[in-house]
Structure 1
Amino acid sequence: MDKQDTNNAVLEYQNNGHKKNGAVAPIPYPVSPLLQPVDYGDDFDFRQFLSVMRRRAWLILGVITVGMGAVTFNTFSQEKIYLSKFRLLVEPVNSDNSVSDLARSLPGNFGSGSGELDYATQIQVLRSPELLQKVIQPLQQQYPNLNYNTLLSNLSITRPGETKILEVSYQNPDPDQIEAVLEQLSSVYLEYSLADRQTNVRQGLQFIDEQLPDLQQEVDTLQAELQQFRQNYNFTEPEIHFNQLAQKAATLEQQRFQLQQEMAQAQTRLQSLQGGSGALAALENSETYQQVLGQLRSVEANIAKESTRFQEGSLNIQVLREERQNLLPILQQEAERVGATQVTDAANQLRILQARIPSLNQAQAEVEQSFQNLAVLNRLYTDLQRRLGISTEALTELLARRQALQVQAAQTEIPWEVIEDATRPNLPISPNIQRSLMLGFIASSVLGVGAALLLDKLTDVYYSPDDLKNRTKLPLLANIPYEEQHGMAGTTASSLPPMLRVQRWLASLIPASTTRTWQKMTGGDQPYGYGYYGASAFSESLRVLHTNLKLLSADRPLRSVIIASALPGDGKSTIALNLAPTAAILGQKVLLVDSDMRRPQVAQRLNLNQKQGLSTVITNNSNETEIDNYLQKPMPLVDFSVLPAGDLPPDPAKLLASQKMQHLVKDFERTFDLVVYDTPPVLGLADASLLASHTDGVILVVTLNKTTRSAVSQAIATFKQANIPILGLVANSQTKGTSSSSYSYSYYGSQSKKRQ
C-alpha cells in the first residue's frame, strides 16, 4: 500500500456513514494529519540486515544467477588476447662514461643538456609514425590488416620505476603476429638509437667548429691586453708591488721618528748654547756662511728626495753625501771665522734637520698615492686575468670535447641494448576466467544485496515482530498469529447461524478447565459450547497480551485502554473484540466499548443490537441506571459487557470530546476492572486522540507485511505530541507463517486439546 492509497483509505473511512442530505458533516476538532514523510531513524542493525537477506533470498539468488550467467557467457565468448614484450637498456648502468657525458653535456640539443634522458619525450618519439611505419612496411604483406592505428593501440612502452630501461609490449589475438611485430620493433629501435647518436655527434662537432674561432680570437686578444698592461705599468704581480710599497712606507715612518729625535736633541743643544747670542747673530749676517749653508741645505734636500727613489748604498746617494761632507768643513771654517763655532754647529744641525721634514712629507704622500694607484691597477689586472682564465678554460674544454666527439663518431657500437628478448606467447592474458568470474560473483552479490535492501526499503512495511519492535523502540505486547476463523476451523462461518458463530468464537477463548466446569453445570456432552474446539494459538496470544498488560503496571492496574491502529484494516477491532472476553474469562469484569462511530463492527460481529449504544448514551445524557439498559452481555457465565456504538452521529469527534464522554470514562473505570475501547484509525482522524487522553493508554495494532512504517511512525508521533502514553504494540500477522511465536502458541494450544 503506497502513500496515496493510504490517504484514500483514510478519507474513505472519514466519509463513511456520515452523509446527511447528501453532504458530509464537518469535523470542527483537530484531527491527526494524513500520512506525511517521516524519518524512521533507521540505523544499521545486523539482525535486521540478516532478516532482509532471509526474506529476499530468492531475489538475491536470482540476481546472482543472472549476473553470473551474463558474466560467464561474456567471459567465454570473448576473443583470446595474447601479450609479449622485450626490454631495452637505453642508458649505461654506471656513470663511468666520460665520452657520452661530454657529448650529452654540450649545448645545441645534440644531447640531453642536463645529462639525463627525457623518458617521456623519448617514449613519444618511439611511438611516432616515422618509426612505426618502418615496422609496418616489412610486415604489411604478411599481415594486411596491420596499420599504424592498430599497431599504436596495441603497443605499450613504459619505464619500470626509476630504472634506465624501456619495456615494449604488444598484444594481439595472433601470437605469431606478436612475435613478428616485436622482433621488427626491436630492430627498428636499435637502428634508431645508433642513428640518433651519430646525428647528435655530428651536431656537436658542427657546434664546436663554429665556436672555436671566436673563442680562440678572444683568448688571443685578452693575452695581448694583459701583456700591454704589464709593460705600461711595470706590473708583474699585485702582491709584490704591495709588499714593496709597504716596506717603503715603514722606512719613511722610521726616518720621521729618527728625525724627530735628532731635532729634539739639536734643539736642546742649541738652547744650552743660547748664551752666546752675538756670535749666532754674526753667523746669520754673514753672506758667505749663509751661502755655504744654503748649498748644504740643498744637498740635504736632494739626499732626502733621492732616498725615496734609491737604496742607501746607491751611487747618487753616495755622491750627495760626499758633496755634503765637502761643504761641512767650509761651513765650519766660516763659522769659526765669525767666532761662533759651537753655537753655529748647533744651529746648523737644527736647520739641517728641519730642512728634511718637507722632503719626508712629500715622500710619504707619494707612497700613499702609490697605494691608491695599486688598488686600481690590481682590479684591472684581476679582471683581465679572470676573463682570460674563463676564455682559456672554455677553449680547452671545447678542444677536449671535440676530440672526444671525434672518437665517438668513429664508434659503430649500438648505444641501446636488448636485455630481455620477446618470445612467442602461449597463454592468453584475456579473458582472465578466474578473475572475471570472481569479480562477476562479487558484483552480482553486491547488486543482489542492494536490490534486496532497496526493495525492502521501498516496500515500507514491517516484516516480523522483531522488525516492528526494533524500529519503533516500543514494547511488543503480543504477536497475534494468523488464523482464518479465529478458532472456528473446520466450519465455514457463513454456513452457521449468527448466534452459533458467536458461540464458537467465544468457545475458542475459554480454557479447557472452564469448559469442563461448564459441562458439569449443564450436563452437556460437548455441544457447540465453550471449549469444544480447544484453545488455539490465536487465543493463547490474546492471553499473553492480557498478561503483559497486567504486568505493565503492577502497582496500579490498567482500568481503561484504547485499541487503535494507524490505518483501516489493521485488525484493531478484531483485537479489541477478542481481548475483552479473554480478560473476562480470566476473571475480570470487562466492558468493551465500540467508540468507532464511523465504521462500527462490534455489534455486527457479536450479532448485537446496534441501534442503542454509546452515541445514544452521550446524546440522551443518560445516568448510570439508564446506561445499564444499553449494556449487552453476549457471553454467559463470565462478566463481559458490550456497549455498541449506537446510531452513527454526524460528528463523532464532537461526542468523544464532550464532558459527558469524560464522565462516562470515569464511571466505567469505577464500575469495571477493564474497559476496552475500539476506536477509528489514528491518521486523519482525531477520535482516538480525543478519547485516549482520558484513558490509561493506547495499544497500537500493526499488521505485519501490510501497515506502512511511515503510517505507524506518524501515529506514534501523534500520540507523543499529545502526551498520550503508548502502552505497547500488537503485531497482527496477515498471512500464515509470519508470526515468529506461532510455534509456541500452537504448542500450548495442542496441549490444551489433549487435556480436554
Structure 2
Amino acid sequence: MLDKQANSLAEARQNINLQLTQVRNQLSHLQSDNGKTTVLNTASLYQKLLDQVTELNSQIATESTILQDANPKLQTLKEKRDSLIPVLQQEGQRFLSVREAELKTQLQSLDLQSNEIAKLETQVAQQRKQVPILARRYTEIQRKLQFANESLNRFLSTRENLEIQISQTELGWQLIQPPLQPSLVTASSRVRNLIIGFFISLAAGIGVALLLEKIDNSYHSVIKLKKKINFPLLGNVPFDNEVKALQSRTSKSKFFPIKIFNSLLEGSQDTDISIAQEYSSYSTEFLDALRFLYTNIQQIKPDSQVRSLVVSSVTPGDGKSIVAFYLAQTATAMGLRVLLVDANLRQPMVHNLANLKNLWGLSSLLSTNLPVSEVIHKLPSMEQLSLITAGPAPDDPIKLLASEKMKQLMADFQDDYDLVIYDAPHFFGLSDVSVLSPYTDGVLMVVRVGKTDASVIEQALDYLRILPLNILGVVSNS
C-alpha cells in the first residue's frame, strides 16, 4: 500500500512540475514584446478598439489625398483617432495585467501543491523505513507467543499425566491385624524414651547445622542468592548429570601454544568437524530453563532486541561456557542466526563442547591476516549456528582483545548475525570482560549455587561498582 501511495505521489509531482514549467514559460513569454502581442490578439475589446483606430487611420489617409489638413472633416477624424489611442493603450495594459496576475496566482498555487506533495513523500518515506522494524518486532512477538503457547501446553500435559499417575498408584487400605503393644515396655517408659530421643536428635541436628553453616560459605538456594545480589535473576539452569560430566571434562581442556600454531599455519588445514552433542539428549527441565533464560534476556530491552552479550562468571568453574554454548543453541532453535565466539584466550572451552579442532580461531584473526571465513565453524545439526574457537594461546590476551581490529570484528559480527555471544573468562581479578563489554549490549553473569563462595560474590559485587560494566542480569545453575 505504501508503494502504491509513493508511486501515486511521484506521478502527481511529475504533473505538478510539468504545469509549473508551462506556467513559468507563459509568464516569461508574456513579459516579452512578442508575447504581449500574442496575448493581446485574444483580447476581444482590445481588438475592437484596434480595428476602430485602424479604420480611422485609413479614412484619414484617404481624406488627406483630397482635403487639406485644416479641413474640419479631416480634423474631426484625427480627433476621434487621438481620443481612441489612450483608451486602446489602457485596455491593452489592463488585459496584460490581468493575464499576468492570473499566471502568478496559478504559479503560487502550483508551488503550494508541490510543497504539500513533498511533505507527503517525506512522510511516506519515513513510514516505509519503519516497515522492516515493525515486521521484525511482529516476528519476535509471534515467536514469543508460540513459545508461551508451547510451554503452556507442555505444562498442562505434564500436570494431566501426573494426575493420572497419582490416581493409578493410590491404593485402598484396610486394617488386617490391630497393633500389639510390647508386654515388657510400659506406657510411662515409652513416653520417657520418646522425649529423651527427641531432645537428643534435636540437639544433634542443631549442632550439625551450625557446623555445616560455619564450614560452608556458599549460597545453597536460588532464593538466598536472589536476596543478596542487586541484579535481576534471569533464570536458573539445572545441570543434569550429563552436563556436569561435560563440565568436568572441559575443565581439563588443552590448547595449542602460539609457536605450534604458526607452524601449523604454514601446512595444511584440518577442517573436519564432529557433530556436537545432540541438543535433545537432555531433560525437559533443562531445555525449558534455557528457553526461559533466552526469553528473559530478550525482554531486558523493551524497545529493542539484545544483539550481543558477554557470558562471564565470578570465579572459574561456575559453568559459564556451558551456559553460553547451550544458550547459543537455544537462540538458534528460536530461529535466530547466532554466532558463538570463544573470547576466553586463557583457557578456552567452546571447542571441547562442540568437539572441534582449536588449531586457529579468534587469536588467529587478531594476530594474523587470516580471513574470517577460515575460522568460522558450522555445526551439521544447526546450520544457523556459527562458532569461532579461541585459537592458539597468545602471550598477551588483553592486548589482542583491546585492539582496534577486535572492535571492528565485533562491529562486523553484530551486523552479520542476529545474536552474538562471547564466552569470556571470569571477570573477578581479570580485565578481559571490561575490555569486551563496552562494545556489546551487556554482560550475563553466571553463578554456581552451592559452589561459588558467598564472600567472593560480595567482593565481586563491590568490584562491579567500580568497573563500568553493564550487567544484564544473573543466571544461576544448580
Task: Please give the TM-score of this superposition, normalised by the length of structure 2.
Answer: 0.50
Larger radius of gyration: 1
The alignment's TM-score, normalised by the length of structure 1, stands at 0.32
Higher-RCO chain (CA-CA 8 Å, sequence separation at least 6): 1
